Amino acid sequence: MQKIAIYAEKSSYYLLILFTLLLPLSRASNTIFSIYFTLYFFIYIAFHFKDCKIFRDRFFIITTIFILYTLASIGWNGINGYQLGDATHYLQWIAIFGVAIFVTNHRDSVNSIISAFLIGMLISEILSYGMYFGLWEINGKGASEPTPFMMHIDYSVYIAVAALILLNRVFSDRYNLKVRIIMAIFFITMSGNLFINGGRTGQVAFIIAIFVAFFLHFKFTIKNLLYAFAIVSLILTIAFYSSNKFQTKLKSASSDIQLLSKNDYESSWGRRVGMFKIAPDLIKEAPIFGSGINSQKEVVSKFINENNPSYFIKPTKEFLKKNHLHNQFLQTIVELGIVGLILLFTIFYTIFKFKILNKEFKELKYIFLTIFIIGCMPEPLFLKQFTNMLFILFIGILFGLHLNNKEKKCIN
């Protein structure tokens, strides 16, 4: 049995490295990853139930309650396939606990996991640049949309996370000059990749996270604030003059704002603002417990059909009826009510309070949370497979380090 256990642990290490490497490259691998580490969690606690102190951790308790509450909300309005599909995204969060237990017992593996993620992003970046320069097409996409395996919004979040891991290392004195120069070059190419793609979600999160990373390493002074603004301004200036897509997106944003000033919501930004305009009426449907998972289309359709808001033209109304709410927190409060939103905010708070002694991963905690929370504002990232898996991997790592540093290993 001991030999089997050792073999299983080694297999789990290599599988986690492989899954992490493939995270930005394969949708199928992401599904297998979540299933494997969910099973890993249940099998592990089956053998070590009495000694497993993870059950007493606040993050585990709150997250488990949130998962069960989400599953229970399927029954609010009757069960259907779409509700089960959306609930599965949260059920996959159990894999966080599997990754955390593995990291707790194999703390030395964390650097290898992060390296595997960066290598996966490097491969993805090479493929993306090849598409951009017309060298090849992937999944029918080429220079106009150089995102190899996922939507541009999801891909922009991945790039933002990878780029900030690199920038954080560039700022750090824990690496020698040679390594920091290599990281800086990788950061520059990664930043360029972000701006040749159309994901404004990741771009905004990236800019804000740069300030966070900067002030994690340097004192907050007016002088340093100006330095940070100079770095961001330089990046944006280069991006503007070297990326036609970035120019187009900025002009589109300006056009969207002009339309909104005329109460015209038929634009990318307009539709998002439109969701917030009707949000109070949507929340009134079931303010405490919500209308149930994947109920937003039904709730929006009911409101529009009954009230026929004159400030929306027909195409805008049809769009709002058929799409998600373009904001994770709005999506949560409509589907799961105030109770669900409080639980979600509590989860983020407990992550923020993770006790991580290693400085680099403590910094990574703040950077990752910044990117993900900012990303959740224009998009429901938990309902997207790639970004949901990104959350599962990194929170699993951080939770594992927290358990280790709090001396709450699954086995003591």
With 70 as the cut, is the pLDDT of residue 406 above it? Answer: no
The number of CA neighbours under 13 Å toward the Cβ of 168 is 21
With 80 as the cut, is the pLDDT of residue 177 above it? Answer: yes
The number of CA neighbours under 13 Å toward the Cβ of 210 is 22
- Give the pair of three-digit tokens for residue 39: 């099973």
CA dihedral 129, 134, 136, 141 (to 10 degrees): 80
| pLDDT band with cut points at 50, 70 and 90 for residue 412 | very low
Cβ atoms of 380 and 151 within 8 Å: the answer is no
Give residues with Cβ within 8 angstroms of 28, minimum separation 6. Answer: none
Structure-token match 């890993």, residue found: 40
CA dist 118 and 113 (Å) reads 9
CA dist 397 and 107 (Å) reads 9
pLDDT tens-digit series, residues 238-257: 988 888 888 888 888 888 88
pLDDT of residue 26: 93
Q: Where are the domains of the chain?
A: 2-50+113-250
With 70 as the cut, is the pLDDT of residue 327 above it? Answer: yes
Least Cα distance to 277 among 204, 332, 327, 338 occurs for: 327
The distance of Cα 87 from the centroid of its chain, to the nearest Å, equals 17
- SS3 track for 46-81: HHHCCCCHHHHCHHHHHHHHHHHHHHHHHHHCCCCH
**What integer best gives the mean pLDDT of the chain?**
89
Q: Give me the sign of the Cα torsion angle 45, 46, 51, 55.
A: positive
Q: In sequence order, what DSSP letters do the residues of 344-367 get, joined into one string?
A: HHHHHHHHHT----SHHHHHHHHH
For the ranges 131-145, 177-191, 291-305, which has the lowest average pLDDT?
A: 291-305
- The secondary structure of the chain in percent helix, strand, coil, rounded to multiples of 5, reads 75, 0, 25
Question: What would the mean pLDDT of 373-398 be, rounded to a whole number?
Answer: 96
Share of the chain above pLDDT 90, in %: 61
pLDDT tens-digit series, residues 123-167: 999 999 999 999 999 988 988 899 999 999 999 999 999 999 999
Cβ atoms of 153 and 194 within 8 Å: the answer is no
pTM: 0.93
3 state SS of 138:
strand
pLDDT tens-digit series, residues 347-367: 999 999 999 999 999 999 999
CA dist 68 and 49 (Å) reads 20
CA dist 197 and 254 (Å) reads 18
pLDDT tens-digit series, residues 29-86: 999 999 999 999 998 888 876 667 788 899 999 999 999 999 998 877 666 545 566 7
